[in-house]
Amino acid sequence: MIRFINVHKWFKDLHVLNGIDLQVAQGEVVVVCGPSGSGKSTLIRTVNQLESINEGEIWVDGKNVTDPKTDLNALRAEVGFVFQHFNLYPHLSVLDNITLSPMRVKKMERVAAEKRAEELLERVGLAHKKDAFPAQLSGGQQQRVAIARGLAMQPQVMLFDEPTSALDPEMIGEVLKVMKDLAESGMTMMVVTHEMGFAREVADRVVFVDHGRILEEAPPEEFFMRPQHERAQQFLRQLLTPMN
């Protein structure tokens, strides 16, 4: 479904992505983790070309996204993206946030779009909030709306860029629960996160990135029990016992 072939990206002198090769199969859930500044957010943003790359190729659903001839807008419509800071449209109600792109990009009728939006809100447990505005919701609720907004386009893939990093601890669980349900429904997912509990329970594979390289790629049990690379061991130690 997603395939990176020898992807490189530079920010001036900084080599943020250094020869990334990675595949995400249909229905697979891949968690990307790594220290901050490792390039993992940049990596996930290259999938729908919110970040461009300098070398290599990225294929999504059989299309080369780095080919200038590819219709990026059509491709992005098939790829759901959930941001760290939710990025809901603050001037629109929850319902309008979800129906906007199906109506404008897919030319769905309002009635149909709203029906679908209400089903999605039901699914993320926020049916009663459809007329609220984003600023009236908690962070966890906003992020669940953002997930519903992504799903409204009926995407082939969902990308999550640190979806719980901006949340208060007591709200992380409700968002992860929605993501877990989504994974169980068979959605192909690529998730940048530090939530190792989620990775252990939901991921098919964990990818560890540092300095723009993939240092380790393994099923969760193996990654957590027997990390091969020294940087991965160090990273896991710091996550589990941050005081030491």
Partner 1 sequence: MNYNWDWGVFFKSTGVGQEIYLDWFVSGLGWTIAVALVAWIIALILGAVLGVMRTVPNRLVAGIATAYVELFRNVPLLVQLFIWYFLVPDYLPEGLQTWFKQDLSPATSAYVSVVVCLGLFTAARVCEQVRTGIQALPRGQAYAGLAVGFNLVQVYRHVLLPQAFRIIIPPLTSEFLNVFKNSSVASLIGLMELLAQTRQTAEFSANIFEAFTLATLIYFVLNMSLMVFMGWVERRVRVPGLMVGGK
Q: What is the binding site for partner 1 (CB under 8 A)?
A: 48, 50, 73-79, 81, 83, 85, 87-91, 100-101, 104-105, 132-136, 149-150, 153
Least separation, in Å, of the C-beta of 135 and partner 1?
A: 3
Question: Is-contact 137 149, C-beta < 8 A?
Answer: no
The sign of the torsion formed by the CA atoms of 110, 128, 146, 97 equals: positive
Residue 83 vs 235, nearer CB to partner 1: 83
Least separation, in Å, of the C-beta of 77 and partner 1?
A: 3
Residue 100 vs 127, nearer CB to partner 1: 100
Residue 134 vs 220, nearer CB to partner 1: 134
Give residues with Cβ within 8 angstroms of 221, minimum separation 6: 200
Least separation, in Å, of the C-beta of 161 and partner 1?
A: 10
Least separation, in Å, of the C-beta of 201 and partner 1?
A: 27
Question: Is-contact 101 77, C-beta < 8 A?
Answer: yes
Residue 81 vs 198, nearer CB to partner 1: 81
Least separation, in Å, of the C-beta of 195 and partner 1?
A: 21
Residue 100 vs 218, nearer CB to partner 1: 100
